[in-house]
Amino acid sequence: MDAQSFELLEEKINKMITTLNLFKTENKELKMQNQELRSLLDNKEQMINTLNNEKEQLKSVQGDVESYKQNQNRIKEKVDSLLLKLKEFEDYQ
């Protein structure tokens, strides 16, 4: 090999080292972004789980409210019926 071939080889090696360093820097940045995104994803998943739990609790409360309303309506109907019977009894007297 002559001097020109060594210079060309040295130039190619230097370019490869520069490119390798760029790749290392980019890889490090991508790893940091990946970690940030994983952390963000974990937070979002926790938020979704919390919201799903709250949704289930609200469904339960909603069922309780519906049951209460139905009971309230039955009581109102009974009271109205009793009042009507009382009125009929008073009118009969």
Walk along the chain (93 residues) and give the pLDDT tens digit of each residue. 688 988 999 999 999 999 999 999 999 999 999 999 999 999 999 999 999 999 999 999 999 999 999 999 999 999 999 999 998 888 876
The CA-atom distances, in angstroms, between 18 and each of 9, 30, 60, 77, 80 are 14, 18, 63, 87, 91
Q: What is the pLDDT of residue 14?
A: 97
Distance CA 90, CA 22 (A): 99
Q: What is the pLDDT of residue 90?
A: 83
Which DSSP category does 20 fall into? H
Q: Cβ contacts of residue 9 below 8 Å, gap of 6+? A: 1
Q: What is the pLDDT of residue 10?
A: 94
Q: What is the pLDDT of residue 37?
A: 98
